[in-house]
Structure formats: structure tokens, C-alpha cells
Structure 1
Amino acid sequence: MMKCLSCKEEYSGRDVGTCRECYEEAGETEEELKREIEDLKTKVNFLRLHTVVAGPNYATTRPNAPSFSDVVLVASDSADPHLTFPPIPAHRAVLQISRSPVFRAMLENKMEESLSGTIKISDVSYDALRAFVSYLYTADANLDEHMACELLVLAEKYEVKHLKTYCEKYLMSKLNWENSLAYYAFAHQLCAKSLLDAALSLIVDNMDKLTKQVEYMELVEKDPRVVVEIYEAYLSKQVNTAATENPTPKS
């Protein structure tokens, strides 16, 4: 029997040093450190690339060194097609290896965005797109409920799973009876399962108040399928509760 130099526990094996558990733990710590270093590097690149210039209504982002940027993202608002926003500079390499397989495929193949160096993103506010690009560099975002909803849409569209989870958790922390139906319908559109389940649980627990919500009649008209699913979940809960309280006697 050998004694581990890290935990001092005995273990079987021929090699003197660390036991298997300590070896695997050390390996995991090393991988975590590597990821942390890579995150720090991308943050430094982001800070070098951007300078925030305060405007009268919003903050604009301009590159310190345009030669470092080889792609730009442009926000467009379909509600007002004449409204233009400053392009947001970025690096192809960062977008390709960041957290979006959609961007990676877009830029690795000879698509229009790859050839022109311009990625147009529709139906998004400038501030949300800017926060989205910032997240791809820093894995961090300053959220309020409106921003979390906008970023959740972008996260689903560009398959940024970590950002989707991040926004879902934030919205779940803000979940209450008043917004539960609206968030349930919103989560249903985006396949945001965690937010969907949390909102549905709250709704089912308050079914006696459901029809009094303004959003209820709107949902009945726009998407009755969602309303049916709510009632199905409620009936399923009732059946399960009855089965638990009155178990079938064994013969």
C-alpha cells in the first residue's frame, strides 16, 4: 500500500505520489484554471478594443484600434427601419470560438456575413446587442428584467446555452404571480424549460386566480394551445395528489 502525498490516505498501486481521487481533482482544478485564464484574456481584449462614450440617450461603443477589429455587428429595428445604430466591432476569432456555434458556422463558411465582415441582427435593440457582444467576450452581463428577456431571445437564436441559462435564472428570481403567465408564454416560445417549469408550477398552485389575469384572455385568443397545456398540468397534479392521498390497497 502507498500513501498519498496530498491527502495522506493509503491507496493501492505501484506509483508513488497521489491517489487516483487526488490526481483527478488536481486535473479538474488545472482545467478550471485554464478556463479562468482564457476568460481573463478575452476580458483584456474587450477592454482594449472598446471605449464607452456616453451619448445623450445611450452609450455608444467605438473601437480604440479599428485594425484589431475584423467584423462588425449591426442592430436593426423592424419597427423603425430608418433608425440606424453605430456598428459594434468584434473579432472573428472571438465569435468563432466563443459560445455561439451559429456565429462559428457563419464565419467559418463562405456566407455573406463572412465575406462582407458585417453581421446584421434584426429585431434587437442596440443596447441588447451591445450587451450580447460584451457577454461573448466576458461571460458576464448586467441584467434587469427587460434586458434579460432581450438577451434570452438572442441566446436562443444564436445557441449561446450558458447565456440562456444565466437569463433564465435571473428571470426565475423575479418570478411572481403577476408576471407568471406572461413569463410562461414567453418561455414557451423560446423553449426555456427551467423558466417554463417554474412559471407553470406557480400558475398551477394558483389556478383559482388564473382567469382573472388580463394576460389569460389574450393568451386564449392568441395561443389557446398554451392554455390547454396549463389545464393539463393542473389535472395531472390533481390526479397525482389523489393517488398519493389514497393509495390503491395491495391485494
Structure 2
Amino acid sequence: MMRNNTGSTLQQLSLRCLSCREEYCADDAGTCKECYEEASETEEELKREIDDLKTKVAFLRLGSSPLDSHKRSLSLGFSDVVLVASDEFHSNPVSLPAHKAVLVSRSPVFKAMLEIEMEESRSGTINISDVSYDALRAFVNYLYTAEACLDEQMAFDLLVLADKYEVKHLKTYCEKFLVSKLNWDNSVASYSFAHQHNAKHLLESALSMIIDNMDNLTKSEEYAHLVEKDPRLVVEIYEAYMSKQVNTAARSN
């Protein structure tokens, strides 16, 4: 009888969360609601970090069969290919040494250049136009390490190179960064850029932001530039906006 009374009393007691020491109902799942939700968010963040690390490791393992690894270990002592950067800001091209084994394993475009009898394969020189030395150096560093220090301009520059040379892992990395930096002021320019380089995630995020701020669209300087440069994209923006309005009206009915 005493055990029943004691059990009944315990069920009515409030307990203290081990994390924040706040009281919570004994019927809850061992912690207060706030800490439970925070733990769930932390778990999701950890899952995303683990997924990112897995894709990074997979990228660095590209072309890493035992034979490839042996060839690479022999070749990494000395560079055997030169990348040459040239842009409007440099009167003289700037060169950057690299290793064929690394370029071939990371990019199918470099693989085609260097494994087939093309000029780049014979000369050991790959000319890359319209790119700054800093961007090319960051690009090559990423091929070796899967790491890059980004600001917005560098992310745009690296995404262009990643798209051109089909380095998907780097393209995704830059897209995520640019999406995190999206705001109304850069949304139109980002939308146009994403169209040019088939950056689907960035395109969808920029378009969504534009549609949510349609009242301000025509007031934007970027809008005037877009009308002049590529009116087709302006039409697509209005079509997407009208489609959203129709869908919203249909749901409300």
C-alpha cells in the first residue's frame, strides 16, 4: 500500500532537467522541452557535418585505386603540368605548377585533356583564360585538399571554374556558401549568375527571394541591367511569380 502511495506521489512530482536544471513534468522524455528541441537540432547539425565529411572524403578518394595511388606517389615529388592564368587585370599570364595525377582524378575535363593526345597533354601546359591567379590558386588548392577560404567573390570565381571543369563537389560547396549570403540586394545578380552556370540550388533560392519581394523588383538597378542584358530571365521571373499566385489562390479556395 505504501509503494502504491509512493508511486502515485512520484508521478505528480516535477523533475529537474540534467542539462539546464529547469523543472519538467515526470511524464516527459527525461528532459525539458527546450533542451529536447535543442538536442534534436544539434543532432541534425551533426548529421549534416558527417554527410559533408563523407562527401569530402569521397572527393579526395577519386581515382585512388592501388595502381593510381602508386603512380600518384611517384609523380607528386615534382610537378609535371603547368596551369596558366590570364585575365584582364594581368598583362602577363601567371603560371601555377601542378600534378597531372591529381588533376585527372578530380576533373573529367582535365582527364580528357591530359590522357588523350591533345595539345595540353603534349605540352604539359593548360591555359585557363578569364581567371585571376588568386582564383586559380584557390581552385588548384581545392583539388588537392577539398578546402577553400571563401568570400563572395571567390565563391563566384570558383563556381565558374568548378562548372567549367566539372568539379561537382566544389560547385556544391560554393553554391551552399552563396545561398547563405543571399539577400535582396544581390538576389537578381545571383539569379542571373546561377542561370549562366547551371547552379540549380542557387537559382531556386534567388528566385524565391525575388518572388517574395516583387514589389521592389522594378526599383532595383540590377533589374534594369537584367532587362537590357537578358530580358528572357525577366519573363521567367514574372512567370514564376504568376504561377505562385495561381497556386496560392487555388489552395485558398
Common fold, TM-score beyond 0.5? yes
Find the counterpart in structure 2 of residue 94 from structure 1: 102
d(CA) in 2 for partners of 1:80 and 1:168?
26
Q: Deviations over 1:116-152 (max 9, x none)?
A: 0011100000000000000001111110000000001
Find the counterpart in structure 2 of residue 84 from structure 1: 93
Structure 1 pair 153–69 and aligned structure 2 pair: CA distance change class (3 A): same
Find the counterpart in structure 2 of residue 161 from structure 1: 168
Match of 1:240 among 244, 247, 253: 247
Of structures 1 and 2, the larger Rg is shown by 2
Matched, 1:180 2:187: yes
d(CA) in 1 for partners of 2:200 and 2:211?
16
d(CA) in 2 for partners of 1:192 and 1:151?
12
d(CA) in 2 for partners of 1:107 and 1:67?
19
Match of 1:105 among 106, 112, 116: 112
d(CA) in 2 for partners of 1:80 and 1:151?
17
Find the counterpart in structure 1 of residue 83 from structure 2: 73
- Secondary structure at the aligned position of 2:85 is classed as strand
Q: Deviations over 1:197-240 (max 9, x none)?
A: 00000000010000000011111011000000000000000000
2:59, 2:169 within 8 Å by CA — same for their partners in 1?
no
d(CA) in 1 for partners of 2:187 and 2:89?
30
1:84 aligned partner, one-letter code: P
Aligned length: 187
Q: Deviations over 1:21-46 (max 9, x none)?
A: xxxxxxxxxxx6xx47966xx9xxxx
Structure 1 pair 91–206 and aligned structure 2 pair: CA distance change class (3 A): same
Matched, 1:205 2:187: no
- Secondary structure at the aligned position of 1:68 is classed as coil
Find the counterpart in structure 2 of residue 194 from structure 1: 201
Which runs of 4 or more aligned residues in structure 1 lie more than 4 Å from their structure 2 counterparts after TM superposition?
A: 35-39
TM-score normalised by the chain length of structure 1? 0.71
Find the counterpart in structure 2 of residue 48 from structure 1: none
Alignment of 1:15-94 (within 5 A): 35=57, 68-77=78-87, 79=88, 82-85=91-94, 87-94=95-102
2:91 aligned partner, one-letter code: H
Find the counterpart in structure 2 of residue 20 from structure 1: none
Show structure 1 runs of 5+ residues with no match. 1-31, 43-64, 247-251
Structure 1 pair 193–147 and aligned structure 2 pair: CA distance change class (3 A): same
2:59, 2:146 within 8 Å by CA — same for their partners in 1?
no
Match of 1:123 among 105, 130, 154: 130
1:97 aligned partner, one-letter code: S
Q: Deviations over 1:87-122 (max 9, x none)?
A: 211111111112x10001111101000000011100
RMSD: 2.2
Find the counterpart in structure 2 of residue 55 from structure 1: none
2:142, 2:148 within 8 Å by CA — same for their partners in 1?
yes
d(CA) in 1 for partners of 2:168 and 2:58?
18
Structure 1 pair 178–116 and aligned structure 2 pair: CA distance change class (3 A): same
Measure how far apart 1:84 and its partner are. 2.9
Measure how far apart 1:81 and its partner are. 6.4
Q: Name the stretch that deviates more: 213-222 or 227-236.
A: 213-222
Alignment of 1:206-225 (within 5 A): 206-225=213-232
Higher helix share: 2
TM-score normalised by the chain length of structure 2? 0.70
Find the counterpart in structure 2 of residue 143 from structure 1: 150
2:60, 2:145 within 8 Å by CA — same for their partners in 1?
no
- Secondary structure at the aligned position of 1:73 is classed as strand
Query: What is the percent sequence identity of the aligned residues?
Result: 69
